[in-house]
Amino acid sequence: MRALQFGLRPEQVKVVGLPVAERFCRPPGDREILREKLGWPQDLPVVILVGGGDGLGPIKKTAQAIASLGLRLALVIITGRNQDLKKTLEAIRWPMPTFIYGFVREMPDYMRAADILVTKAGPGTISEALNAGLPMILYSRLPGQEDGNVAFVVSEGAGVWAPSAELIASALSNWIHHPEKREKAAAESRRLAYPQAAQTIAQITAEHVGIRNPSLT
């Protein structure tokens, strides 16, 4: 751990996870009810493809590569604020059930209702996916600062690294044809989740400044 390499003592270091918005930390809920609410099919694996709030990355190319596989799945594409991309995707006739959204605030429900997340290697999205128990296919990272995110997800078995549309499609095909592999990655995501990270940080901080038994509800 880098903190120890820089001279901190083990008792000074606590791994508590990355805090995310409270709505991403709630129990998963009933997937069937969520899918009914969202209008998604109940009998197909649901794959979410996201490019961040600005809809960046090879979203169109990746979606088309996925569509070309002919797999039994439903595809959810989040284009964020990229309205041009949203319109372009909406004009395509997709061979499988496809749901295209712009910027959404219901992402916690989307994650809880889905089976697989295809995303950039941003720390916030990864933490949110872990809390939802979602296996991840990571396709992009910021050099340096996000390299460790990819290494963490892959080494812990919660996802795979696939930095091209073709590799994404291949990884997805593997998980669809071998659901036991997908379920294993989902289980690792649940194992790595820290839904109480924010409360733990607040608790530790309060204790260090002399506040005992703070109310964090």
Residue-wise pLDDT tens digits, 145-171? 899 999 999 999 999 999 999 999 999
Q: What is this structure's pTM?
A: 0.83
pLDDT at 195 (0 to 100): 62
* Sheet-wide strand order for 159-161: 98-101, 74-78, 46-50, 116-120, 136-140, 159-161
193 in a structural domain? yes
Q: How many of the other CB atoms lie within 10 Å of CB of 167?
A: 16
Domain hosting residue 66, numbered range: 24-208
User: What's the pLDDT band for 5 if we cut at 50, 70, 90?
Assistant: confident
pLDDT at 23 over 70: no
pLDDT at 166 (0 to 100): 93
Q: Which amino acid is at 84?
A: D
pLDDT at 43 over 80: yes
pLDDT at 55 over 80: no
pLDDT at 120 (0 to 100): 93
pLDDT at 150 (0 to 100): 96
Count of domains forming the chain = 1
CATH code assigned at 189: 3.40.50.2000
18 in a structural domain? no
Q: Which amino acid is at 165?
A: A
Q: What is the mean pLDDT of residues 58-85?
A: 94
Q: Which amino acid is at 217?
A: T
User: What's the pLDDT band for 27 if we cut at 50, 70, 90?
Assistant: low
Cα gap 203→197, rounded to integer Å: 10
pLDDT at 51 over 80: yes
With the C-alpha atoms ordered 123, 127, 132, 134, is the resulting torsion angle positive or negative?
A: positive
Report the chain's mean pLDDT, rounded to a whole number.
87
139, 58 Cβ separation under 8 angstroms: yes
9 in a structural domain? no
pLDDT at 56 over 60: yes
Nearest to 141 by CA among 77, 80, 52, 217: 52
88 in a structural domain? yes
User: What's the pLDDT band for 95 if we cut at 50, 70, 90?
Assistant: very high
12 in a structural domain? no
- Which of 44-53, 57-66, 124-133, 204-213 comes out lowest in average pLDDT? 204-213
Nearest to 139 by CA among 65, 189, 30, 74: 65
162, 138 Cβ separation under 8 angstroms: yes
216 in a structural domain? no
58 in a structural domain? yes
User: What's the pLDDT band for 17 if we cut at 50, 70, 90?
Assistant: low
